[in-house]
Amino acid sequence: MHLRLLPLAASAGLCATFSPLSAYAEFIQDSKASLDLRNFYMNRDFRQTNAPQNKADEWAQGFVLRLESGYTEGLVGFGVDALGELGVKLDSSRDRRGTGLLAYGASQQPVDNYSELGLTAKVRVSKTVLKAGTLQPQLPVAAYNDTRLLPSTYTGELLTSQDIAGLTLNLGRLEKQNLRDSSSNDPMGYAGVDSSHLDLAGGTYAITPQLATTYYYAQMQDIYRQHFIGLVHDLPLSNGMSLRSDLRYFDTREQGSHDLRGASRVDGGRIDNRFFNGMLSLSAGAHKVGLGYQNLSGDGDFAYPGMDPYSVNLVTINVFTKAQTDAWQARYDYNFAALGLPGLTFMTRYVDGSHVQTASVRNGREWERDTDLTYTVQSGPLKNVNVRLRNATLRSSNGLTSDIDESRIIIGYSLALW
């Protein structure tokens, strides 16, 4: 927990301690705790002939403990949350490391285990909540990653208000980030350049139950400033069918004059781009078919914090955010409950990117094909155990991206402690 946040947490605790005993009622009664278990095997086979590493192959067990208090009674309610994460190596080695499951240091030797403890103080007034400490936002301009063994986190402050019907507002500052395979809180940053913080403000308004619009502004100090506009519309059709439209647009410009070492240098490494992406999804019974498209124009890669851009083409291996990338996606989902097999689902998708530019590549192309088969046990002693089999293939031209064949086996279970 950030040191300057400790007084806020201490104040919350003291207020609860010296208030009447009745103030503890909701604080205790509304508290909850859960333990998430995730067993993860991942094999990544590098297919290009000049690959520095033949494969990455690791197996690990993750534990995530979440403790969430209620709020003390009264006009102003106080509470405290805690997040504990532990990753344990089951199988790995120096020559097979790098899947993102396990941390490793300068020796390149994967650690036997790594962990993180995060604390969050929270204050509630009506339907407005201020959280300070460890955060896991899922916002268009800043999102945490949960696609490996342990979820990533941020450190900062986030104010969320739902006092106006249909409107959710967020105002925050993120100062540190803990990546998915790390135990340290590192500075915010992008493309190898550190920043003191990222400020964000915006929200989502539900115009009707079927139509919502979103706007956010974000600024990573001395690196970039960004506007986002989004629109989601659900259209009911005849015969139980429905059509979802999800449209997203970013306008990102540089803010400061840092040398962006990790970004594509279309025009001296500048950040100056527009990024449109969206998807149409048609649902009909057990079937869902999706068609997505993106266009990234301007200079440089699309800039974002952490590891997850808010894009419909954020897929298993690649993110398709290099400079000038046009990409389309075709996706199909099926729910086997329609065949009498509840809990079993299937997904496959194909993404094709073209016109990609980097420091050494012009008009490059890259494509990815993913397949997921997931089953959640419906009854018996293993009820709610989730098994996911995931396979992915990534290919590119001109050495633009590593050519990869990848398989994952993920077994998860969430246990409510109280």
Pairing of strands 364-376, 198-208: unpaired
Distance CA(403)–CA(396), nearest Å, equals 6
Instruction: Supply the DSSP symbol for 303.
Output: P
Burial label for 313, CB within 10 Å (0-12, 13-18, 19+), is: buried
In order, the DSSP letters of 157-221 are: EEEEE--STTEEEEEEEEEEEE-TT-SS-EEEEETTEEES-EEEEEEEEEEETTEEEEEEEEEET
Instruction: Note the pLDDT of residue 21.
Output: 53
Instruction: Note the pLDDT of residue 350.
Output: 98
Instruction: Note the pLDDT of residue 108.
Output: 87
* Residue 278's CATH number: 2.40.160.10
Q: Could you tell me the sign of the dihedral formed by the alpha carbons of 104, 392, 35, 312, in that order?
A: positive
In order, the DSSP letters of 97-110 are: --SSSS-B-TT-PB
Q: Which of 220, 203, 157, 146 is nearest to 179 (CA)?
A: 146
**Confidence (pTM):** 0.90
Q: Which long-range contacts (CB under 8 A, 24 or more apart) does 386-394 make?
A: 386/410, 386/411, 386/412, 386/413, 387/411, 388/412, 390/316, 392/315, 392/316, 392/317, 392/368, 393/368, 393/369, 394/317, 394/318, 394/366, 394/367, 394/368
Distance CA(331)–CA(285), nearest Å, equals 16
Distance CA(38)–CA(414), nearest Å, equals 9
Each residue's pLDDT tens digit, 122-181: 999 999 999 999 999 999 999 999 999 999 999 999 999 999 999 999 999 999 999 988
Distance CA(360)–CA(265), nearest Å, equals 9
What's the domain range around 266?
Answer: 3-416
Residues facing 309 on adjacent strands: none
Distance CA(199)–CA(223), nearest Å, equals 12
Instruction: Note the pLDDT of residue 105.
Output: 80
Instruction: Note the pLDDT of residue 10.
Output: 43
Number of structural domains in the chain: 1
End-to-end CA distance of the chain: 25
Q: By the 8 A CB rule, do 175 and 197 touch? A: yes
Distance CA(145)–CA(158), nearest Å, equals 18
Q: What is the pLDDT along the chain (418 residues), one digit of tens a residue?
A: 443 444 444 444 444 444 455 566 678 888 999 999 999 999 999 987 777 788 999 999 999 999 999 999 989 999 999 999 999 999 999 999 999 999 988 888 999 999 999 999 999 999 999 999 999 999 999 999 999 999 999 999 999 999 999 999 999 999 999 998 888 899 999 988 999 999 999 999 999 999 999 999 999 999 999 999 999 999 999 988 999 999 999 999 998 766 665 555 444 568 999 999 999 999 999 999 999 999 999 988 999 999 999 999 999 999 999 999 999 999 999 999 999 999 999 999 999 999 999 888 889 999 999 999 999 999 999 999 999 999 999 999 877 888 999 999 999 999 999 8
Q: By the 8 A CB rule, do 304 and 190 touch? A: yes
Distance CA(225)–CA(190), nearest Å, equals 12
Question: Residue ranges of the alpha helices (H) in 315-416?
Answer: none
Cα separations in angstroms, 304 against 57, 110, 217 = 28, 28, 12
Backbone φ and ψ for 4, nearest 5 degrees, come out as -75, -5
Q: Which long-range contacts (CB under 8 A, 24 or more apart) does 257-262 make?
A: 258/193, 258/222, 258/223, 259/193, 260/190, 260/191, 260/192, 260/193, 260/223, 260/300, 261/191, 261/192, 261/193, 262/190, 262/191, 262/192
Distance CA(299)–CA(273), nearest Å, equals 6
Instruction: Supply the DSSP symbol for 239.
Output: G
State which amino acid sits at residue 228. Answer: F
